[in-house]
Amino acid sequence: MNQFHLTHAEMGKPSVSKRLYLCFILIVSAFSGTEEYYNSQWLQCIYSSPDLSDVVYISSYVFNKAVVSEFNSTLGKFVGYTEYGMRNAEYWNNNTNILQGMKADLDNFCKHNAEIYNSYIRDKTEKPKIKLRSVKQAGGKHPAVLVCSAYDFYPERIKMSWTRDGKEVNADVTSTEEQADGDWYYQIHSHLEYTPRSGEKISCVVDHASSTQPIITDWDPSIPEPERNKIVIGASGLVLGVILAAAGLIYYKKKSAGRTLVPH
């Protein structure tokens, strides 16, 4: 039974570059009485630079999940890890045709397939879908919270920011990291706590490789009347409470200053 797989994997957290893997697996199973043996060959292409200048080609020979011998293009030769593997490695290293063929696979197999992979997957971009909404919160310094969400975008590198009347807002902003959806796409969410002001313009700004210009989504204050009234009343009550507290404090200090204390 032969099984062929062409897979890839991306390792690590978001960074300027990632190590990318192209892996070709050949699995051969053999039966001997009641026992079963598996021989497999793993062909790996590991790289991170877009120009493929750092590609490493590794061909591993595996018997029942244990690596027997391996060719590494960085070393330019075979290495054995078991007695049987060391004998094979010595034989292959002394065979000029085999060794030259393995070295040629760095270009013929790795770079060739990596270029195809980059053109269809790595260089692919998908513009994010933006959703801007108001949410309720328990507590907090401000009575209102806006959430800007970006969905179904690729690649994962993205920047989200807020502007208020054209000026960038840095305070009272929290954001999640890029979250993988499991289908090559990503999502991210940013929260802005604020106190509403009449006539203001609040916008969510998204910078992504899929667009040459920032993607700007303006907040529409035409939220349902009851919810808008609650926010306005809450903000007005907060301001009124501060004014009354300040007036009371001033009145108390004036009364205290004009009072004469008589000892008993």
Which pair of tokens denotes residue 48?
């991170």
Q: What is the pLDDT of residues 206-258, one digit of tens each?
A: 999 999 999 999 998 775 545 555 655 666 666 677 777 766 667 666 666 65
Whole-number pLDDT of residue 195: 87
Whole-number pLDDT of residue 4: 32
Note whether 140 and 193 are within 8 A (CB): yes
In which residue ranges of the chain is CATH 3.10.320.10 found? 2-122
Q: In the predicted model, is pLDDT for residue 157 greater than 70?
A: yes
Tell the CATH superfamily of the 129-244 domain: Immunoglobulins (2.60.40.10)
- Class of the CATH domain delimited by 2-122: alpha beta
Model confidence pTM above 0.75: no
- Among 43-52, 92-101, 168-177, the least confident range: 43-52
Q: In the predicted model, is pLDDT for residue 66 greater than 80?
A: yes
In which residue ranges of the chain is CATH 2.60.40.10 found? 129-244
Q: At what angle do helices 83-93 and 96-105 cross, to 10 degrees?
A: 90
